[in-house]
């Protein structure tokens, strides 16, 4: 913690830049460089924003050195064990745990917004059957702007609230329908008598020919997976949503931009990539070969599900995810799942390898999630769509906080220009 009058001094081109410093309630202090360019004519340079705080926030805190993750101050393992996803949504959106009455009201509002505008079914039919569910989610989430005009004015807090509820409520329906469409099966409509996660499982796995009752252990596991993925500070997709929102874009367009960014294999696409990697390794005896590839600077191969920009210790979500994997595989009678055996042995070997120890590479949230989702019957192509479903509340909470922050303005980074100096145009017949 720094004193209120703490300053950081920087000497630039014989100019002295005197910057105020600030402490948060916890975590690293910041140096306020907003006047740096005006006073020195210089930019800072921080590709990937490894040393940059893009905003102030009260929502999520991560201490990567000790593997701590707090949602509004509450540790993720306590929330995963004692809370549920809709209660966590309320906490992330409004800052406090709800009373029983507040939770019942919030749950009721979400439940009554789970259906999509019926014309959106036509929108799905414009895609090829083999379209990746994330391609469909990018399109359908963005298309909400064309159906819900009465909740697109970001300056109206009532419309912001309705859009937030609609997005949280409809993401499971949109994701489940993307899955059904890829399977060539009819859409299953939400049911108001089911919990959030159970409703999603039923919309994914029920067919008109027979009823489907989600197994309570699987429904609870799904709910915990949603909670573990709900928010994660200023990650790439959340930063994308904030940047899109800073221009005044409507909430559905902003969340669609987050879906697009999350799709990348270095980010939310890692759960799909990780399970594909574990299957590619195939057996425990092949692990050393892949560990060597991951360590080879000339080999682009990375251990998917390992490493993190912020966590330089075990991702606390991965620990909970490993416990959930055991529960799900026990219920499904696949405790000898070969992929899980490879994952556990890969984790054991990697965590004792000097390269991973020195670079502080640990399993992250994506390392075990794919094993659980695969055992539950989801194709790997649905993994990131499920991540996007769960992360929607985090994106919305961060988007709302950005809009309501008096210090916020349109995001517009600068650059270090290394291109050609000014030169005159040469007509094509005079060029060599
Ligand atoms: C998510 O930001 C978030 O919060 C994201 C997320 C969320 O909830 O929103 O937590 C979700 O995206 C989790 C991460 C999922 N991605 C993967 O599992 C893909 C595999 N991981 C890597 O691609 C990588 O670890 C990143 C992208 C996650 C982080 O990349 P960084 O910030 O560049 O990693 P780093 O700077 O800490 O790397 C340190 C070193 C580097 O080597 P050197 O340049 O120092 O020689 O470790 C190497 C990296 O090349 N390294 C790896 C590695 N991850 C980093 N080497 C082998 N295997 C890996 N997985």
pLDDT in tens, the chain (432 residues): 878 788 999 998 888 999 999 999 999 999 999 999 999 999 999 999 999 999 999 999 999 999 999 999 999 999 999 999 999 999 999 999 999 999 999 999 999 999 999 999 999 999 999 999 999 999 999 999 999 988 899 999 999 999 999 999 999 999 999 999 999 999 999 999 999 999 999 999 999 999 899 999 999 999 999 999 999 999 999 999 999 999 999 999 999 999 999 999 999 988 989 999 999 999 999 999 999 999 999 999 999 999 998 999 889 999 999 999 889 989 998 767 788 889 989 999 888 999 999 999 999 889 989 989 999 999 999 999 999 999 999 999 999 999 999 988 999 999 999 999 999 999 999 998
What is the C-alpha separation between 368 and 304, in angstroms, rounded?
A: 11
Residue 35, helix vs strand vs coil: coil
pTM given for the model = 0.94
Pairwise CA distance, residues 204 & 187, whole Å: 9
Nearest CA to ligand 1 atom 33: 309
Q: Which helix (H) or strand (E) holds 21?
A: strand 15-22
Q: Is any ligand 1 atom within 6 A of the Cβ of residue 359? A: yes
Q: Which residues contact 399 (CB under 8 A, 6 or more apart)?
A: 241, 242, 245, 251, 254, 255
Q: Is the minimum distance from the CB of 69 to ligand 1 under 6 angstroms?
A: no
Residues 6+ apart with CB under 8 A from 297: none
Output the CA 384–ligand 1 centroid distance in Å.
17
Instruction: Provide the sign of the torsion angle of the four alpha carbons 75, 77, 83, 88, taken in this order.
Output: positive
Is 356 touching ligand 1 by the criterion CB < 6 Å? no
What is the longest distance spanned by two Cα atoms in the chain?
78
Atom 43, ligand 1: which residue's CA is nearest? 359
Q: Which atom of ligand 1 is nearest to the CA of 237?
A: 9
CA–centroid distance, 257 to ligand 1, in Å, is 22
The rounded Å distance from CA 309 to ligand 1 centre is: 6
235, 348 in Cβ contact below 8 A?
no
> In terms of C-beta density within 10 A (0-12 exposed, 13-18 middle, 19 or more buried), how is residue 363 classed?
buried
Distance (Å, rounded) from C-alpha 269 to C-alpha 250?
Answer: 25
How far apart, in whole angstroms, are the C-alpha atoms of residue 250 and residue 16?
42
């Amino acid at each position: 913690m720094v004193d209120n009058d703490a300053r950081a001094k920087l000497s630039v081109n014989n100019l002295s830049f005197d910057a105020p410093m600030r402490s948060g309630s916890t975590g690293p202090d910041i140096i306020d460089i907003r006047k740096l360019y005006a006073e020195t004519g210089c930019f800072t340079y921080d590709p990937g924003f490894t040393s940059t705080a893009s905003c102030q926030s009260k929502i999520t805190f991560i201490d990567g050195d000790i593997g701590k993750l707090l949602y509004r101050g509450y540790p993720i393992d306590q929330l995963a064990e004692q809370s549920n996803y809709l209660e966590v949504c309320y906490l992330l959106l409004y800052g406090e745990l709800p009373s029983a009455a507040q939770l019942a009201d919030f749950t009721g509002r979400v439940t009554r917004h789970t259906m999509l505008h019926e014309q959106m079914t036509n929108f799905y039919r414009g895609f090829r059957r083999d379209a990746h569910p994330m391609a469909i989610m990018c399109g359908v989430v963005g298309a909400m702007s064309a159906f819900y005009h009465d909740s697109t004015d970001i300056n109206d807090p009532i419309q912001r609230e309705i859009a937030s509820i609609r997005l949280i409520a409809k993401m499971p329906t949109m994701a489940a329908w993307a899955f059904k469409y890829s399977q060539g099966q009819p859409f299953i409509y939400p049911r108001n008598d089911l919990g959030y996660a159970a409703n999603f499982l039923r919309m994914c796995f029920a067919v008109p020919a027979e009823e489907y009752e989600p197994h309570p252990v699987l429904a609870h596991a799904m709910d915990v997976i949603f909670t573990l993925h709900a928010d994660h500070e200023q990650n790439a997709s959340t930063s994308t949503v904030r940047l899109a929102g800073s221009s005044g874009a409507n909430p559905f367009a902003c969340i669609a931009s987050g879906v697009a960014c999350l799709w990348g294999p270095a980010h939310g696409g890692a759960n799909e990539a990780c399970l594909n990697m574990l299957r590619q390794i195939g057996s425990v005896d092949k692990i050393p070969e892949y560990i060597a590839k991951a360590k080879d600077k000339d080999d682009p191969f990375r251990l998917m599900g390992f490493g993190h920009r912020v966590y330089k210790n075990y991702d606390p979500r991965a620990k909970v995810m490993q416990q959930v994997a055991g529960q799900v595989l026990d219920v499904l009678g696949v405790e000898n799942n070969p992929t899980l055996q490879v994952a556990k042995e890969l984790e054991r070997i990697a965590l004792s390898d000097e390269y991973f120890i020195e670079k502080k590479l640990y399993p992250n949230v994506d390392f075990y999630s794919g094993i659980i989702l695969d055992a539950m019957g989801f194709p790997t192509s649905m993994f990131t769509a499920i991540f996007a479903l769960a992360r929607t509340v985090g994106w919305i909470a961060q988007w709302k906080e950005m809009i309501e922050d008096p210090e916020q303005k349109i995001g517009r980074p600068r650059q270090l220009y290394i291109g050609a100096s000014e030169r005159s145009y040469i007509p094509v017949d005079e060029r060599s």
